[in-house]
Amino acid sequence: MPPGTRLGEFELHGLLGAGGFGMVYRAYDHSLHRTVAIKEYLPGGLADRAGHAVTLRTEADARRFQAGLRSFMNEARLLAQFDHPSLVKVLRVWEQNGTAYMAMPLYQGMTLKDACAQMRAPPPEPWLRKLLWSVLQALDLLHRRDTVHRDISPDNIFLQDVGPPVLLDLGAARQALGQDEPQHTAILKVNYAPIEQYADAQGMRQGPWSDVYALAAVVYGCLDRAPPLPASVRVLRDTMRPPAELADALHLAHGLTYTPALVEALTAALALDPDRRPRDLAAFGALLQLQPVPGMERFDWRAELGPGWQAPRQAMGQEHAQEPTSAQTQESGPHSTLDSATDWRAPTTAAGQAAAALTTPPSAPAGRRAWWPKAGVAALILGLLAAVGIVASPGDPPAAAVATAPATGRASAVAPMPAKPPVAVETPVVGTLPPAAVPVPVAPAPTLQAPPASAPPPAGVRRTPAPATPRTLSAAQICPDSNFITRPMCLFRACQQAAYAAMPVCVENMRRLRENARPDGH
């Protein structure tokens, strides 16, 4: 909506950002004479704007739209009941123009995602502990009300210029839209979501331990300066570097020390099996040996990073969200905001440089070397899952919101999102390939050929025919002990056996695999 539009006592002054599920405006409250942020519920895949009104694209989308709207309203009412400096405050919520709005304070600062992308070096442990203390206090309020956040990620933690970090919205509308889809598709941020958040992960309940995993993944990603592997990839082949190895590498390269308490807590919290994680925030805090942090109202995160902070290239103090450079899947691959010039994986200590000289492989294009192994694994798993129809197809509904571009100044949106209208983005639940514009070497796709015909039997020798195998087995019957995560790999292996190779499910599986193995994807 254009500047000057009135929504009750609020006058819109401009667009701060937009995502796949809503828009955020800068506005002025004429009643209380203050500047606020107003979030509008507008799922781009379901609704359009006609003037000021929001209208459905098709009547078939009405049920899903209403489910998301109800969750949007319920989330606002829940957050309005709390008054904690590290939990976003909702000032008002109402329905108008065929949709819903919530008014929130206008925070000054930037998201943790953008901050990590601009750091010169990994954050030291004391800084991380202050971040964890604030976020855990906010999460504790939600958990005491039997509410799991389920949307913790670096772009949902806001670092104020001065003051404690703020945990932003719960993403309830996005989750409700996913649950209301006919296929019950999981709409989530794959690099930070635990395995139990995937829609078909039957028998795995979500709870406080789910938020514990996501928060640990956020810390791990900030230390590694790249999103951690999705849980759906790790469950097939866990190649993610253990936190202990990551801590050793950072110590060697930068001289930073991370305590065994932090390393062991991250290791436990990142366990794929929910039963092996800390069961609640108290248990996680105990593993961390976390102590209360006084004076967080004066927390200046930039100053406390010291030389580890890299000032933005342009003038500070902006009051608008940065426009995106492209529509990308939310955190499913390497940080698009990373600058190869500030890659802190490059050793800065003499010992680190000496070790790197002995172990560094041939150089790769700037900005991509560190992420090839992860991208290769994600591409392999994506191909296998696509072969049996697990990942989103072109006809699937829109999924996660568009990822933000790097913030080069101080964002002021309460829920920073790209300053473009919502874009429907197809989001595979296991990760995506690197952007096509950047050449990334990948291993050549294996040539899938039928096994060579066996030599004819010698004269006089009668070959006994193999017993006939039923040709109507389904994937579930071939792999009865697998689930939606492990079944693609099980089916792939089973179809290599002569007993199953000619079955329709295997024939179709191989056809799809060949298609996905082609360079052009056709």
- Give the highest mean pLDDT range of 27-31, 71-75, 222-226: 27-31
Instruction: Give the least confident one: 26-30, 230-234, 488-492, 515-519.
Output: 515-519
Alpha helices, H only, 300-445: 301-305, 350-359, 372-387
Average pLDDT value for the chain? 73
Q: Work out the burial of residue 475: count CB atoms within 10 Å of its CB; fewer than 13 is exposed, 13-18 middle, 19 or more buried.
A: buried
Q: Give Rg (Cα) of the chain.
A: 25
Residue reference for tokens 């509008």: 40
Assess contact for 53 and 97: CB atoms under 8 A. yes
Flag whether pLDDT at 82 surpasses 70: yes
pLDDT value at 86 more than 90: yes
Q: CA-CA distance, 42 to 72, in Å (whole number)?
A: 10
pLDDT at residue number 505: 81
Average pLDDT over residues 277-293: 97
Residue 244 has pLDDT above 80, yes or no: yes
> Backbone phi, then psi, for 520, in 5-degree steps?
-90, -5
pLDDT tens column, 387-433: 333 333 333 333 333 333 333 344 444 544 433 333 333 333 333 33
Q: Which residues, including other chains, have CB under 8 Å from residue 159's CB and lie 6 or more apart?
A: 109, 110, 111, 112, 115, 165, 301
Q: Which domains does the chain have, with CATH numbers?
A: 6-105 (3.30.200.20), 109-359+367-387 (1.10.510.10), 475-517 (no CATH)
Contact status, residue 43 vs residue 49, Cβ threshold 8 Å = no
The sign of the dihedral angle between the CA atoms of 423, 183, 58, 55 is negative
H-run or E-run covering 65: helix 62-80
With 70 as the cut, is the pLDDT of residue 273 above it? yes
Which percentage of the chain shows pLDDT scores above 90? 46
Looking at per-residue confidence, does 261 or 393 come out higher? 261
- Determine the average pLDDT of the residues in 301-305: 95
Q: What is the mean pLDDT of residues 110-119?
A: 94
Q: What is the mean pLDDT of residues 473-479?
A: 76
**Is the whole model's pTM more than 0.75, yes or no?**
no
Q: Using the predicted structure, report yes or no on whether residue 184 has a pLDDT greater than 70.
A: no
Going from the C-alpha of 131 to that of each of 125, 126, 293, the distances in angstroms are: 10, 9, 10
Q: For 86-218, list the strands marked E by DSSP.
A: 92-96, 99-105, 109-111, 157-160, 166-167
What is the rounded distance in angstroms from the CA atom of residue 190 to the CA atom of residue 202? 18
Q: What is the pLDDT of residue 513?
A: 64
Position with higher pLDDT, 50 vs 127: 127
Sign of CA dihedral 412, 415, 420, 421: negative
